[in-house]
Structure 1
Amino acid sequence: MKNIGLTQGKITVPESTTLEEFLKLPYIDESPAWEYINKETIQKPMEGGKHSLLQKRLVAMIDGLGTNYEAFPELRCTCGNHSVVPDVVVISTNQLPLDESGEIISSGINFAPAWVIEIISPAQSQTKVTGNILHCLRNGSQLGWLIDPSERSILVYQPNSLPDLLVGKDILPVLEDLNFTLSVEEIFACLQRKN
C-alpha cells in the first residue's frame, strides 16, 4: 500500500488492484477524481481557472445546441479495462444510463463517449491525457479534442486518421449529427470575461 497525502489527511491506495476492486474504492470520485489506467490508480491534478472556465463554457455551448447529445464535465467512463474521468464527455441522450426512477445513475458510464474533450494543464502529462483520448477512440469514441490553453491549439483525434493540429481560425470537427461550426479562436475567446 502507498499513502497519498491529501488536505483531509491520508488515503491508502492499493499499489496493484483490479478494475473491479478500484471501482469499489469509496474515494475515487472525490475531487480531484481518481483514474484507473494500465492497472495503476492515478489521481487527476487539481485544475485552475482557465481549465475550469473552458470546461464550463464548452459544456454550456454543446448543451445549448438543443440536440440529442448532452455534455458532462468530469463523468467517469469505464471501458476496456480503464476507468477515466475526461474533462468533458458528450454522449447521445438515448445512451444515458438511467435508474428505475428515470434519473441518470451516479456511477458514470460503462462505454466510451461519442466525443471526449481533455484540457491540458501545466500539472498534467500530455502523454497520459493523449493516451486517455486514444483509449476512448479504440473503444468506440468518434471524436477527441486535446485543448492546450498555453499553446492556443487543439489536437483533434478521429478514428482511422492521423491527428490534426488546429490553431487560429481553423474550424474544428464536431460530431456528424451536430449542426455547429466553431473555430479554435472561438474556443479560446471563452477565456475572456463576459461583460
Structure 2
Amino acid sequence: MVQAPSKPLTLPEFLALPETKPASEYIDGKIIQKPMPKGRHSRLQGKLCAAINQVAEDSKLAYAFPELRCSFGGRSTVPDVAVFLWERIPFTATGEVPDNFDLPPDWTIEILSPDQRPNKVLGNILHCLEHGSHLGWFIDPDDLSILVFQAQQQPVLWQSDQALPVSPELELTLTVNQIFDWLKMG
C-alpha cells in the first residue's frame, strides 16, 4: 500500500508543538532532534555562559543564554550559547526576559557533540550570519580547535594560545587553550 506523503509542517505549526528533551530544531521543513549533551559539551557550555555573563550582565552590555530557541528566517534552532547584546533583547513591557526570541543572536556558539553532524551545525551558524549575527564559533572538543565565523569574512581556524574574537562591546579575552583547559577538572 502506498501512503500519500504527509503535508510538510510549517514553522508556526512546529512552534505550537510541545518542547522535546533534548530540543528539536526546525530546519528546511524538517524536525531534527539535537543529541543529548554529554559531559564535555555541558562543561564548555556552562563555562562559556558564565565567562561571558561575568563581564556583560552587570553592565547591561549583553547576555549569554544556554540552549535558547531562536526562530527567524524560516528556521527555529537552539544554539548551545546564544549571545544577545542587551539593547537587542526583546524584554517584555514589565522588563522581563521573554519566552520567545524571533531574531538571530548577535553571537552564536555551537559545541560539536560526538553524535552530531558537523555540516548541520555549521549550517545553523551560517544561517545566523545570513540573518544578522555578527559572530559564530564552532567548537570541536576532539580537535581542540574553534572555527570562527565573522560576518562578510572567510572562516578562520583558531588553535592554541590565540585570543579569540568576541563581540567588540565586551572586554573579554579568551584563548583556545583557556577554553579547552576548562575540561580538565580532575
Provide, for residues 144-164 of structure 1, a one-character-per-residue CA deviation record: whole Å limited to 9, x for no partner: 000000100000001111100
Read off the aligned partner of 1:104 and give its amino acid letter.
V
SS of 1:177's partner is coil
Q: Do the aligned partners of 1:15 and 1:40 also contact (CA within 8 Å) in 2?
A: no
- The list of structure 1 runs, each at least 4 consecutive aligned residues, that deviate by more than 3 angstroms after superposition, is none
Provide, for residues 3-42 of structure 1, a one-character-per-residue CA deviation record: whole Å limited to 9, x for no partner: xxxxxxxxxxx7720001111112x3x3201100011011
Kindly tell me: are residues 15 and 154 of structure 1, through their superposed partners in 2, closer, same or farther at Cα, counting changes over 3 Å? farther
In the alignment, the residues of structure 2 paired with residue 21 and residue 50 of structure 1 have an alpha-carbon distance, to the nearest angstrom, of 34
Read off the aligned partner of 1:62 and give its amino acid letter.
I
**TM-score normalised by length of structure 1:** 0.87
Q: Which runs of 5+ in 2 are unaligned?
A: 1-5
Q: Could you say which residue in structure 2 is the equivalent of 1:190?
A: 182
SS of 1:128's partner is helix
**TM-score normalised by length of structure 2:** 0.91
Q: Could you say which residue in structure 2 is the equivalent of 1:76?
A: 69
Question: What percent of counterpart residues are identical?
Answer: 47
How many positions carry a matched residue from both structures? 178
Q: Normalized per residue, which structure has more strand?
A: 1
Map 1:1-195; keep pairs closer than 5 Å. 16-26=8-18, 28=19, 30-66=20-56, 67=59, 68-107=61-100, 109-193=101-185
SS of 2:98's partner is coil
Of structures 1 and 2, the one with the larger relative CO (CA 8 A, separation 6+) is 2
Read off the aligned partner of 1:123 and give its amino acid letter.
D
Read off the aligned partner of 2:47 and give its amino acid letter.
R
